[in-house]
Structure formats: C-alpha cells, structure tokens
Amino acid sequence: MSPYPQLFQALRTGPFTLKNRIVMGSMHTRLETEPDGSARAAAFYAERARGGVALIITGGYSPDAAGLLEADSGALDQPDKLAEHRVVADAVHAEGGRICLQILHAGRYAKHDALVGASEIPSPINRRKPRALATAEVEQTVASFATCAALAREAGYDGVEIMGSEGYLISQFTALRTNNRSDKYGGTLENRLRFPLDIVRATRARVGADFLILFRMSALDLVEGGLNAEETLHFARALETAGVDVLDTGIGWHEARVPTIGYMVPRAAWRAATARIKSAVSIPVMATNRINTPGLAEELLEQGVADLVSLARPLLADAAFALKAEQGRADEINTCIACNQACLDFLFRDKVASCLVNPRACHETSYPKVRALRAKRVAVVGAGAAGLSCAITAFERGHSVTLYEAQGEIGGQLNLAKQVPGKEFAETLRYFRTRLAHSSIGLKIGHRAGADELARSGYDAVVLASGVSPRLPDIPGVTHPKVLRYDEVLSGSKVPGARVAIIGAGGIGFDVAEFLSASHGAAATPEFLEAWGVDPQGMGDGGLVPPKPEQSARSIVMLQRKSTPPGKSLGATTGWALRMELARRGILVLTGVTYQRIDDAGLHILHEGQPKLLEVDHVVVCAGQEPVNALRAELAARGIDATLIGGAERAEEIDALRAMEQGMRLAYAM
Ligand code: NAP
Ligand code: SF4
C-alpha cells in the first residue's frame, strides 16, 4: 500500500475518473515561442505523464489576439493551430495521462499594445493602459472562450481550465478595483460575476457534458478593491451551478504586494482560503501554492482542505514526483525549493522556463536520458552544487565516477545557503545524498584530492568543481577581530553582536541580513500572514488587513560602493519581497559608500561626501568570492587538462543555478 493513501485514491471528476489526486498545475514555459516548441512541449509533458500525475494542465493559451500575454504568446483561436496542440495531447495520452488546456486572457496584464480590460484602469505592474471592452466585445470574448474550448476538444485535450484568478481579465471583471463599468458587466457583485459565469455556461454549451471544465478562481485576491471571503464563496457556488466540474484555486493577483509562492512563504500557507471554498461547494476543489512534498499533500487531503493538489513547480523539479511517492520513495524526490530562479525569473527575462534543481526541465529533447557512447572513468573534485550535478548526471550516463570532497560532508556553499530562513537547500542535499547512496559513485568525503593522486589514477576526464572562497576586501583593518566572514556567520561558528554592518549588498549580503534579523528562523504561517497583512479569515477587502509591525532585534546597516539600487542581483520574483521585509524590520541600506577603515570604534566610511563612523559590534563581509582552482595548474604540469566548472571556473555571479546547469551540461558533453 502507498504511504499516502489519500493521495493515491481515485477521484471521479465530471466525465471521468482521475487515477490519483495529483494534478500538474498550469505553468508558463515559453516553449510555444521556440521553433521546435510543440515537440519540446510534447516531450516535457509526456515525461510528467509517465511520472504518474493524474492530470496535466498546460500553460495558458489565449482565446483571442487581445488576450495574448505577449505578442508571441500562444493562442488557440483558429483551426490552423490544432496540429501543434494535437502533438502535445497525443504524447500525454500515449503515456496514459490526461491533459487539459488552460484558457487565459491576460486583460490589462498583456505586454502588447492591443491590450483590453474591464475598464480603462491601468495595472501598477504594466505601463500600458488597457482599452475598456464595449458590451458587445465582452459578449464576443465570452464566445471566444467557448470556441477555444471547442478547439481544445478537437485537438484531443480532455478538458479546459478557465483561468479566473491572479488578476487576469476575469479577475479584472469581478473586482471593483478594476471594474467601474455601468453596463450589465459592472456595478453589483451579480453583474461583475456575469462575465465568468457567462463564459462557463457558453463553454459547457459548446463542449457538452463529457468534457472536463476546471475553473481557477481567486481564493484570495490580496489587493485592495478585491473580493472578500463572503463574495468569494458566493462566486464559488455560482461557478458550481454554472457547470464547472473542478474548482482550482489561485492566490493573489500578480500586482499583490504579498509574496504568494516564493521561498519566504511557508509551505501550504494558503490552506485556510482553500478550505473555505471546499466547505462552500460539493464539486472537487484543488489546493495550490507551496505544496512540495507528498506528506504535505496527503495532510491537506486528510484534513479535508481539498480533494486534489495542484503541483506546478514541484513537477518541473521532478517529473516522477507521483511515482516516487506512490512507491514509497519520497526521499528520492528532487524537491522544488520555491526559489523561482529558473522558472518564473527566467520567464520575466523572456527565457524558456527551467528549474534550478533540475536543469533538464523544458530541455528534455536536448538532454535525452540515454547513455554515453563510450563509458569513461571520471574524477569530479568538489561535491558542491556543480560537482554533485556533474557527478550524478555523468553516472546516469554510464560513466564510472569518483567524487572527491575535502570537507566532511557534501554540499559546499549549499550548506551555508540552507541556513537562510525559508531556503530549502536541505531538501536538495537530502536528494543528492539519496542519489549518491543508490549509485556506485566512488565517494571520497573528507579527502582532498591531490594532483599526484589524480594523475596516478589515470582518469579519462578530471572535472574541477572546487568552488570559491569568500573575498576579503582591501580595507585597512579588515583583519580586526570585529570582522567576520559570511561563511562564519551563516555556519553559526561566529555570532555577531547587536549592532552589525554588512559590507556588500548582493545576494549573500541580503541573505545574511535576513538570517540576522529574522527573530526565529523561517516564519510559520500565522506570523507570515500577520507580517504581510493577510486576514486569516479573508474578511477584509481582498483578504487584507494592516500588517503587524516588525522590528529586527539587531540594528543592521548594509553597504555597497555602487550608487545603483541595492539588491539588483536578487531574483525578479522574490527580490522585491525580501527588500520589503528587510525595510519593514528597519534594516538600513547605504549606497555609494567608500570604506575607509575598521577599528575598535567600528566601520569608518565616506557617505554623500561626509565621513561617518558606524559604531558596530561586528562587520560582516559579504563582498563576493574568489575561485579556488590552483589544482588546475598542478594537473596541467602533469599533462592533465582538467575542466573547471561552477565557482572554480568563474566566481563572479556564481550561484547554485549556474553551477548545477553547468555540471549537467558538462556531463552530457562527456
Ligand atoms: P554579489 O551579488 O555579486 O555581491 C557582492 C557584493 O559585494 C556587492 O554588493 C558588491 O558591491 C560588493 N563587493 C564586491 N567587491 C567588493 C570589494 N572588493 N570590496 C567591497 N565590496 C565589494 O555576490 P554575492 O552576494 O557573493 O552572491 C554570489 C552570487 O550568488 C551572486 O550571483 C548572487 O546574485 C547569488 N545569490 C543570489 C541570491 C538571491 O537571489 N536571493 C542569494 C544569494 C546569492 P559594491 O561593489 O557596489 O561594493
Ligand atoms: Fe522550484 Fe526553483 Fe525549480 Fe522553480 S527553479 S521549479 S522554484 S526549484
């Protein structure tokens, strides 16, 4: 029997039975913008179907040209687009899976000039102003949703999900924040709900009873002028009556100033909002956001919070999540750590999505799971992110691998990153430990590989993933006892006093500030909701209440020499929340500083042309890193051409994302 009996119970939903309760939630990939996008999407989704999910929901496709997210985004509005969709639906069906198309009209979030909205109210996250749809155009848009669903049926999909959350066009009709219309689609709640309900009724009429209709409704808007809990529940009941088979739940509009899925959000933080909807309807309800382990998914089902769980990013991280859980191999799951670094942050940079912990995601056709033509003897020196990724992938490709690590444990810099509140790198290390234990990789832990030893062993390939060392800047007094390195602080070997200056306001500077100012590690759900002003009962406007003031127990000043806004290197989708959190705790950031010296009195700087003394107990240095790669020259002297990867190759801007991708790519090149 599966250790997760609720998760692996079949469920009747509308026209068919789902084999378990795990749904791959919709996630944009941008694959549709690639020349070979359909084949790549087919491979991507087929691998997830093979991995045991009961149902897949595609990324959003617009029902018409105005609703496109970007000019080159995907739409399903004409029969000539059926072929590209058939490839995807057929690939999933061939693996025994089911797949629904998500229909998404971007409304005022569209990044093209033909954008439309419920009203002419621009979004704070889009510089373009929408044109308000005329009444007849709204009716036409309703018909376009229904036509899109009919085309999806023709393409072979098992159903559609109508995207009615996150602040896209449907949300823009339901909320007073964005709807000041005076026709039948504006004014009273009944009028504002007319647009989504008309869409559901028109869609059902077009596709018939034997086609699944999911509706993703906003369980919490998290914006002023959004729906409150009472209105949301009324909406849920109306959707059920209109003919929806399954209610999926979305949390927060994209313009909300509350983080909803980043690593700082506690796991399953939004369960109360989903449970409220479940209590209001009799159709299946799906929980979403920050559900990344089978144990947590099981708990939500057992507690009656929802009937299904939607996992989007966790299935980028591990396509076989469901199979591994079902077979009692949860410790082998490559867990999504909610970093957003390669999924959402890539999309913001107009890149195809992938995954930090699984760089194969969305690149399955470039990195097929096949063995190398010739098995080689490979040495990987360094078991940090780059070395682990390279060693495991090389082993999977049939090479005989020896992995050397000078420290007493694997992980390198990941062992520091996992100390930062909310950062779940401990899961990544657990995954790698399990993979190593199940492999025949020769593991030499606590063993510093020397050039002579490597030369003697006669490896076919030597990979140096020997990492980085913290940079100690050239500031007078930098060896003063007040000065601590970030690795000493994050590892807990040194504990700074109550007044701290942080030299360097890059990724690690921010992480250290978070580490030193968080009162008790990662926040639990009640504290998180209070700090971000979310009403647990959802009664306020948009589910919001005034945030509870917070203050860091330490007085912290972060500094950088550049005059550019601090934290520019932080992720687009998480950096803003970290900056807000630290500002709320009273942490100061000074830019454009010149460091003069460090002495018993503290840190002396020049700021805005004036000399200043920061009277601090400790100065924590987070000034970047230097590569550690002296072994390369020693090997070269012995005629061995070692390949550098990760921080050992280039310390600048090194992070786990680049390290893991580079490690995997090298293993495929062997
Ligand atoms: P970083 O982001 O490049 O920041 C280094 C900081 O040190 C900068 O603020 C820089 O500012 C300062 N600095 C550089 N040389 C200096 C010197 N000689 N003297 C004094 N200050 C100096 O590097 P990091 O913080 O070490 O992070 C490493 C990588 O991991 C980066 O790519 C980072 O983006 C990534 N990371 C990301 C996150 C995240 O997204 N949440 C978290 C951790 C790490 P000035 O030169 O202006 O003084
Ligand atoms: Fe999860 Fe990070 Fe991978 Fe995105 S990049 S799927 S957040 S682990």
* Cβ neighbours of residue 499 closer than 8 Å, sequence gap 6 or more: 554, 555, 615, 616, 617, 618
Residue 201 and residue 144 in contact, taking contact as beta carbons nearer than 8 Å: no
What per-residue confidence (pLDDT) applies to 374?
A: 96
Q: Is the CB of 562 under 6 A from ligand 1?
A: yes
With pLDDT > 90 as the criterion, what percentage of the chain qualifies? 94
* Number of C-beta neighbours around residue 335 at 10 A: 20
* Number of C-beta neighbours around residue 1 at 10 A: 6
Residue 115 and residue 106 in contact, taking contact as beta carbons nearer than 8 Å: yes
Q: Where are the alpha helices (DSSP H) in 354-458?
A: 385-396, 414-417, 425-437, 451-457
User: How far, in Å, is the centroid of ligand 1 from the Cα of 122?
Assistant: 35
**Nearest 10 degrees: CA dihedral of 479, 482, 485, 489?**
160
Confidence band for 388, pLDDT divided at 50, 70 and 90: very high
Distance CA 584, CA 590 (A): 16
Q: Is the CB of 345 under 6 A from ligand 1?
A: no
> Which atom of ligand 2 sits closest to the CA of residue 358?
3
Selecting among 109, 168, 263, 459, the annotated active-site residue is 168
What per-residue confidence (pLDDT) applies to 662?
A: 97
109 is a catalytic site residue: no
Based on the number of CB atoms within 10 Å of its own CB, is 373 exposed (0-12), middle (13-18) or buried (19 or more)?
Answer: exposed
Apex CA 324: angle with CA 320 and CA 329, to 5°? 145
Q: What sign does the CA torsion over 30, 168, 657, 290 have?
A: negative
**Looking at residue 618, what DSSP letter applies?**
E
Q: Is the pLDDT of residue 487 over 80?
A: yes
Residue 382 and residue 392 in contact, taking contact as beta carbons nearer than 8 Å: no
User: How far, in Å, is the centroid of ligand 2 from the Cα of 357?
Assistant: 7
What per-residue confidence (pLDDT) applies to 522?
A: 73
Confidence band for 654, pLDDT divided at 50, 70 and 90: confident
Q: Which among 292, 335, 347, 355 is the best mutation to test ligand 2's pocket, defined by most ligand atoms within 8 Å of the CB?
A: 355
Q: Is the CB of 512 under 6 A from ligand 1?
A: no
What per-residue confidence (pLDDT) applies to 539?
A: 86
User: How far, in Å, is the centroid of ligand 2 from the Cα of 317?
Assistant: 6
Q: Kindly provide the residue ranges of all beta strands, DSSP E only, lying in 107-253, ordered along the sequence.
A: 116-117, 131-132, 159-164, 212-220, 246-251
Maximum CA extent, the chain:
82
Distance CA 516, CA 581 (A): 13
What per-residue confidence (pLDDT) applies to 302?
A: 97
Any residues with Cβ below 6 Å from ligand 2, and which? 313, 316-317, 336-343, 355-357
Confidence band for 248, pLDDT divided at 50, 70 and 90: very high
User: How far, in Å, is the centroid of ligand 2 from the Cα of 533?
Assistant: 26
Q: Is the pLDDT of residue 450 over 90?
A: yes
Q: Is the CB of 655 under 6 A from ligand 1?
A: yes
Measured in whole angstroms, the distance separating CA 142 from the mean position of its chain's CA atoms is: 32
Residue 557 and residue 502 in contact, taking contact as beta carbons nearer than 8 Å: yes
What per-residue confidence (pLDDT) applies to 523?
A: 77
Can you state the angle between helices 82-94 and 135-155, rounded to 10 degrees? 50
> Which atom of ligand 2 sits closest to the CA of residue 313?
6
User: How far, in Å, is the centroid of ligand 2 from the Cα of 340?
Assistant: 5
* Cβ neighbours of residue 494 closer than 8 Å, sequence gap 6 or more: 484, 488
Q: Is the CB of 504 under 6 A from ligand 1?
A: yes
> Which atom of ligand 2 sits closest to the CA of residue 356?
5
**φ, ψ at 473 (rounded to 5°):** -70, 160
Amino acid at the residue 328 = G
Average pLDDT, the chain: 96
0.85 exceeded by pTM: yes
What mean pLDDT comes out for the span 288-308?
Answer: 97
User: How far, in Å, is the centroid of ligand 1 from the Cα of 392?
Assistant: 29
Based on the number of CB atoms within 10 Å of its own CB, is 480 exposed (0-12), middle (13-18) or buried (19 or more)?
Answer: middle
Q: Which among 489, 503, 569 is the best mutation to test ligand 1's pocket, defined by most ligand atoms within 8 Å of the CB?
A: 569
Residue with tokens 């999504």: 336
What mean pLDDT comes out for the span 57-73?
Answer: 95
Q: Give the tens place of pLDDT for each residue, 10-57.
A: 999 989 999 999 999 999 999 988 989 999 999 999 999 999 999 999
Which ligand minimizes its atom distance to the CA of 262? 2
Q: Is the CB of 654 under 6 A from ligand 1?
A: yes
What mean pLDDT comes out for the span 98-102?
Answer: 98
Distance CA 197, CA 460 (A): 65
Q: Which among 263, 560, 562, 580 is the best mutation to test ligand 1's pocket, defined by most ligand atoms within 8 Å of the CB?
A: 560
* Cβ neighbours of residue 163 closer than 8 Å, sequence gap 6 or more: 26, 60, 102, 103, 104, 105, 170, 216
What per-residue confidence (pLDDT) applies to 519?
A: 72
Pick the residue whose CA is nearest to atom 32 on ligand 1.
Answer: 653
Q: Is the CB of 621 under 6 A from ligand 1?
A: no
Q: Is the CB of 558 under 6 A from ligand 1?
A: no
Q: Is the pLDDT of residue 306 over 80?
A: yes
Q: Is the CB of 258 under 6 A from ligand 1?
A: no
Secondary structure class of 443 (helix, strand, coil): strand
Nearest to 76 by CA among 88, 60, 92: 60
Q: Is the pLDDT of residue 271 over 80?
A: yes
What mean pLDDT comes out for the span 331-337?
Answer: 98
Secondary structure class of 665 (helix, strand, coil): helix
Confidence band for 537, pLDDT divided at 50, 70 and 90: confident
What per-residue confidence (pLDDT) applies to 660?
A: 97
Q: Give the tens place of pLDDT for each residue, 148-196.
A: 999 999 999 999 999 999 999 999 999 999 999 999 999 999 999 999 9
Which ligand minimizes its atom distance to the CA of 263? 2
Secondary structure class of 595 (helix, strand, coil): strand
What per-residue confidence (pLDDT) applies to 568?
A: 85
Q: Is the CB of 508 under 6 A from ligand 1?
A: yes
Structure tokens given for 323: 């199979």
